[in-house]
Structure 1
Amino acid sequence: MLTFLFAILLLVIGYLVYSKVVERIFGINDQEKTPAYTNQDGIDYTPMPWWKASLIQLLNIAGLGPIFGAVAGALYGPVAFIWIVVGCLFAGAVHDYFSGMLSLRHNGAQFPSLVGRYLGSYMKNIINLVSIVLMILVAAAFTAGPAQLIASLTPLSFTFALVLIFAYFLVAAVLPVNRVIGRIYPFFGAILIFMAVSIGIALLFTDRSIPNLTLTNLHPGDLPIWPLLMVTISCGAISGFHSTQSPILARTIKRESDGRKVFYGAMVAEGIIALIWAAAGMTFFGGTIGLQEALALGGPAGVVNEISTTLLGTLGGILAILGVIILPITTGDTALRSSRMMVTEALEKFFKVRGLKGILLATIPVTIPTFYLATIDYTFLWRYVGGTNQLVATIMLWTGAMYLLESRKFHWICGIPALFMTAVVSTYFLYAPEGFSLPYETSLTIGAIMTLVVALWYIYKIRKSNKPSLSSSSEHAA
């Protein structure tokens, strides 16, 4: 129990201290008008109070991610606590802050545009496709589960439930951000927090003992901690999906100093939620073997339902149903909204995308494949969401590092976690079944070589940035 409580304390202290360090390095200016005012259009660009933006950001980036992912990651044992705390404070929250603030500094630009600005047009084209594919996979995976649960609890068929959900998606994606998202989502965000806090408090007063820290791998299937834990627990530690969501709120921020509370703060809140559910997973079923058996029987939704109803009674059952249905739907909604924004930016090279007609033109092409993928086995989708998600996160960290390098600021706050995630992603795709499925030792060796190559590129960029330009040298001589 002490490890669990200490981990939560570290996240709180990390927010109070390190978030200010990151903000100071980035450099804010509250005298500058934000895109919420300069580009105000009543649809995507509209000023919003920071507390409301924070709750919406939390709901957008979280959904069931820090619940399902943390429960699955709990199979590795208390070592998951280390990854959540370190990953959240030094990688995930930094990633979210830079994805949001760089978007704000570039008139609410989407993630691929930021990548193009700091990593080049070639990388932009690649990440544009990867990001849209990730949005489609996330929306499909976060829609199939709720539709299945609705079909099991009501007379509605799975297909009809799916149609209803996607009808809502289309409405929410084209309406102004303050009509549906701005009014309803803060309430859902509060439910997410209340649900996690209630579970956390109930855990402290049960006869079940939350395990303390051990570096031993407790996974019943003997799966390696590196790099699988870093991909299994993404929401709550670091998730590339967040970089696609932050621009939605970057277009609503009233002043730059709100960014620390909205972007860094929401990520730390998600980290606390992940800690609570990881603790619940490894505690409630008497250990990781019991948790694995429970996951095999009812999946993550069944595990969440059993924990909630047992610890919180009827209220827990209601919260579990609300969580498993509403939270992923809200994530799917904003996933399609952000993909619509990306498609809009891409199409504007060829013709103007304006008004309701333009919005629908950009929304429908991503909605159709999402609907199709939601009709297949969504556990299959999750196999591809994880690796793609962390690849996007890695690219965003490198984007932040190049921005800081170009601005001659302390770039290591993005560069070090970017190198770490490069190693994670390289090794994962080499080892995972959905990747090249190479032997573990081979994957480690090749992954290390790939990371070294990227590190050498990083050193080259650092040395290049430190060299005085020809114009500055001549000015100095004069």
Structure 2
Amino acid sequence: MSSPLLALIGIAMMVLGYLFYSKFLVKHIFKLDSSIPTPAHTRKDGIDYVPTNMYVLWGHHFTSVAGAAPIVGPAVAVIWGWLPAFLWVTLGTVFFAGMHDMGALWASVRNKGHSIGTLSGRYIGNRGRNLFLVVIFLLLLMVNAAFAVVISKLLVGTPTAVIPTWGAILVALVVGQAIYRWKLPLVWVSIIGVVALYALIILGDQFPVVLPETVMGLSAASFWVLVLFVYAGVASVLPVWMLLQPRDYINGLQLFVGLGILYISVLIASPTIVAPAINTAVPDGTPSMLPLLFVTIACGAISGFHGVVASGTSAKQLNKESDARFVGYFGAVGEGLLALGAIIAATAGFKTLADWENVYSAFNQGGVGAFVEGGGAILNAGLGLPVSLSATILATMAVLFAATTMDTGIRLQRFVVQEAAEIMGIKVGKFVATIVVLIVGMGLAFGAGADGSGGMVIWPLFGTTNQLLAGLTLAIIAVILLQKRRNVVPVLIPLVFVLLMSVYAAVVQLGAFYATQNWLLLALDIIILIAALWVIVESVIAMNKARTAPPTSDEDDRVTELEDEPAAR
């Protein structure tokens, strides 16, 4: 199979999805209305609620939701062959992810910017909300702890990525000041920011930063984990315009340039995909493709984490409701393009089938390493970039994706802690909540793994938990649409499919964890499965009630939002 042909087919499908299907959703399903004031205006506080330029917000949303998962998932899932992964990424992006992400944004914006956990209380019930928060908290714990481990390993394994990784923070701080304080034109700020980031990549390639074996009594990887948590904690309490938003925006531009370089290299080098379309000779111990494919590739097809980000931070910054199409749906397209690039890099970046099989000799192999190795070979063959610089570019892409997700994840987990405390009648400030989040995250990283790798202990449950959350988020969207007497079929089909696959996967994993006597994962899997099934039952009840209850209208939403205007002023 020709990799340029596969790339062109995949890109065309996603572009057509944005041009046509997203318009259908905007006009007939969600009926986005820019005359209804958004929470960014009615609840404006300069910290979390900040009206934001559509392109800047897209950068924040895209890089926050992407992380390392759309690289890791597809680069692992090609063990079953490139065709199933390709179909799930492209069709999932067009019909599942774009609708899910835009719908979560719309639902939150119509409800004062409240998180998806809070919305579950309003539309499903208090029991559903409490169980929903449990699932969200565990998902964010997995993301924050595991991504810290992924980043630390990349910084140790690719020391040329250290300077651009940390230099990006300084660039972001300057970009934030340039946009909001100095009011400089966004185009020039964007160009200079991207040039600065790529200059840091070249500098990093020339001056790798290799830490000694032990730093402050910790291994190099453990030291980076500690630094990452401290940084993310500080970033999570700063106003979004100061660091989080500009960092995500400029990283988003840099990462899209990186993706462009990768796809151009594919077109020029035209490498052949050496992996089989459907792999019938998987290594011993590889689990069944059904249902594991649909939870191994979560980000890049559909992801519950996106709904948490959309309702947790992005909805609070949406300048007008119509921007949800570009921010939400096109944000999902951006992630789909990254996942497609990961599939091509991990299947066409090797000279022979034997070379590919050597990397994919066991299910736990592949992943980021295959992406960096295969993608680096394609950049070298296509554009003639040195192997070291190619690896630095791709490793920096992976690190910055994961780091921006971790920034947002810590902030979102802080929101969950505050919401849970409020339910118990306790008022917790953002600093105390952030400290709790950091203690829990680092407790997992260092408690379950003395070398700081404990974040990976519960990672096998990430995909299943993530997809369960996506299904539950779609259930909330379905309830809202039923209340408004709108067509709910475009939501119900993905809802049923995702819930079936994720529950099936959770049950399969129960057997695997029991067989290996992994009692921690077994217990967590049981908790997550019970919580999810309970919320599903509550959701079905809520949908039936919504069908017979008096319909609501957009005018009701307009009144709800306007109630906040006097306080905001």
Counterpart in the other structure of 2:261: 198
**Could you tell me how far 1:189 is from its partner in structure 2?**
1.3
* Secondary structure of the structure 2 residue equivalent to 1:179: coil
Query: In the alignment, which of 11, 14, 18 is matched to residue 15 of structure 1?
Result: 18
Report the CA distance shift for 1:464/1:362 in structure 2 as closer, same or farther (over 3 A). Answer: closer
Q: Deviations over 1:350-385 (max 9, x none)?
A: 2444xxxx1111111121111122232444332021
**Aligned partners of 2:60 and 2:245 also within 8 Å:** yes
Call closer, same or farther: CA 1:170–1:214 in 2, change over 3 Å.
Answer: closer
Deviation (angstroms), 1:284: 1.9
Aligned-CA RMSD value:
2.9
SS of equivalent residue, structure 1 residue 96: helix
Matches of 1:107 and 1:32, distance apart in 2: 11
After TM superposition, list the pairs within 5 Å mapping 1:1-40 onto structure 2.
1=2, 2-24=5-27, 25-40=29-44
Q: Identity rate of aligned residues, in percent?
A: 31
1:151–1:282 CA distance, 2 compared to 1 (3 A): closer
Do 2:482 and 2:547's aligned partners in 1 also have CA atoms closer than 8 Å? no
- CA deviation after TM superposition for structure 1 residue 27, in Å: 1.5
Q: What do residues 401-424 of structure 1 show as CA deviations (whole Å, max 9, x unaligned)?
A: 111111111111111111001110
CA distance in 2, matches of 1:109, 1:317: 40
Q: Using a 3 Å threshold, how does the CA distance of structure 1 residues 215 and 148 change in structure 2: closer, same or farther?
A: closer
**In structure 2, what is the equivalent of residue 474 of structure 1?**
none
Alignment match, 1:448: none
Q: 65-74 vs 296-305, which deviates more?
A: 296-305
- 172-181 or 288-297: bigger deviation: 288-297
Q: 1:252 aligns with which of 317, 320, 326?
A: 317
Q: After alignment, is 299-308 or 339-348 more displaced? A: 299-308
Q: SS of 1:177's equivalent?
A: coil
Give runs of aligned pairs for residues 405-444 of structure 1, distance below 5 A: 405-432=482-509
Task: Say which of 80, 86, 109 aligns to 1:81.
Answer: 86
Give the distance between the partners of 1:453 and 1:352, measured in 2 at CA: 28
The correspondence of residues 291-302 of structure 1 with structure 2, limited to 5 A, is 291=356, 293-294=358-359, 299-302=366-369
Partner of 2:269: helix, strand, or coil? coil
Alignment of 1:263-278 (within 5 A): 263-278=328-343
User: 2:458 is matched with which residue?
Assistant: 381
Correspondence 1:182 to 2:259? no
Cα distance in 1 for partners of 2:256, 2:262 equals: 10
1:360 matched to 2:442? The reply is: no
| Count of residue pairs the alignment pairs up | 454
**In the superposition, relative to structure 1, how do residues 289 and 383 fare at CA in structure 2: closer, same or farther (>3 Å)?**
farther
Residue 167 (structure 1) aligned with residue 227 (structure 2): no
Give matches, 1:260-409, under 5 Å.
Answer: 260-285=325-350, 290-291=355-356, 293-294=358-359, 299-312=366-379, 313-314=385-386, 315-349=389-423, 350-353=425-428, 358-375=429-446, 376=449, 377=453, 378-409=455-486
Are residues 254 and 460 of structure 1, via their aligned partners in 2, closer, same or farther at CA, if it must alter by over 3 Å? Answer: closer
Q: Is the 8 A contact 2:93 2:301 kept in 1?
A: yes
Pairwise CA distance, 1:211: 6.9
1:463 to 1:301, Cα distance in 2 relative to 1, 3 A: closer
After the TM superposition, which of the residue ranges 10-19 and 69-78 deviates more from structure 2?
69-78
Q: Partners of 1:177 and 1:185 in 2: how far apart? A: 10
Q: What runs of 5+ residues in structure 1 fail to find an aligned partner?
A: 439-450, 471-478
Pair 145,454 (structure 1): closer, same or farther in 2 beyond 3 Å: closer
SS in 1 for 2:318: coil
Farther-moved stretch of structure 1 (276-285 vs 258-267): 276-285
SS in 2 for 1:205: helix
- Larger deviation: 417-426 or 378-387? 378-387
Distance (Å, rounded) in 1 between the aligned partners of 2:298 and 2:310 = 16
2:107 match:
102
Query: Which stretch shifts more, 35-44 or 368-377?
Result: 368-377
Q: How does 1:122-161 map to 2 (within 5 A)?
A: 122-151=127-156, 153=159, 154-155=210-211, 156=215, 157-161=220-224
* SS at 1:348 equivalent: helix
Deviation for aligned residue 1:464: 5.5
Letter in 1 for 2:63: L
Alignment check: 8 A CA contact 1:231 1:390 kept: yes
Structure 1 residue 158, shift from structure 2 partner: 2.6
1:140-183 deviation digits (Å, cap 9, x = unpaired): 00001222333453225233222221121111010000100122
Q: Which moved more, 1:223-232 or 1:2-11?
A: 2-11
SS at match of 2:233: helix
SS of residue matched to 1:432: helix
Classify 1:436/1:119 alpha carbon distance in 2 versus 1 (closer, same or farther; 3 Å): farther
CA shift, 1:395, in A, is 0.5
Deviation (angstroms), 1:220: 4.2
Residue 241 of structure 1 corresponds to: 305
Question: Given residue 383 of structure 1, which amino acid in structure 2 is its aligned partner?
Answer: P
Query: Partner of 1:13: helix, strand, or coil?
Result: helix
**Aligned-residue offset at 1:223:** 3.6
Residues 203, 121 of structure 1: alpha-carbon distance in 2 compared, 3 angstrom cutoff? same
Q: Specify every segment of 5 or more residues in structure 2 that has no aligned partner in the other structure, as ranges.
A: 160-209, 380-384, 516-531, 552-569
SS at match of 2:52: coil
- Asked if 1:228 is matched to 2:295, the reply is no
Q: Is the 8 A contact 1:219 1:288 kept in 2?
A: no
Describe the shift of the 1:310–1:286 C-alpha distance in structure 2 as closer, same or farther (beyond 3 A). closer
Q: For 1:87-116, what per-residue CA distance to the aligned partner results, in whole angstroms no more than 9, with x for missing partners?
A: 111111111111111111111101111122
What is the SS of the residue equivalent to 1:66?
helix
Between 317-326 and 35-44, report the one with greater CA deviation.
317-326
1:53 aligns with 2:70: no
Quote the offset at 1:339 in angstroms: 1.1
Give, in whole Å, the separation in 1 of the partners of 2:533 and 2:400. 43
Give the residue type in structure 2 aligned to 1:391.
L
TM-score by length of 1: 0.87
Structure 1 runs (4+) deviating above 6 angstroms are 434-438, 451-463
Shift of 1:8: 1.7
The answer on whether the counterparts of 2:70 and 2:338 sit within 8 Å (CA) in structure 1 is yes
Matched residues in 2 for 1:105 and 1:10: separation?
A: 30
Q: CA deviation at 1:308?
A: 3.5
Closer, same or farther in 2 for the Cα pair 1:194/1:220, shift >3 Å?
A: farther
**How far 1:239 moved relative to its partner?**
0.8
How much does 1:20 deviate? 1.1
Q: Output the CA distance in 1 between the equivalents of 2:129 and 2:353.
A: 41
Asked whether the equivalents of residues 3 and 213 of structure 1 are also in contact (C-alpha less than 8 Å), the reply is no
Alignment-mate amino acid for residue 397 of structure 2:
G
Decide whether the 8 Å contact of 2:350 with 2:377 is kept in 1: no
Determine helix, strand or coil for the equivalent of 2:367. helix
Cα 1:429–1:437 shift into 2, 3 Å: farther
TM-score (norm 2): 0.74
Residue-by-residue CA offset, 1:271-327 (whole Å, 9 max, x unaligned): 111112112212223577644532569752322322243232343222123134332
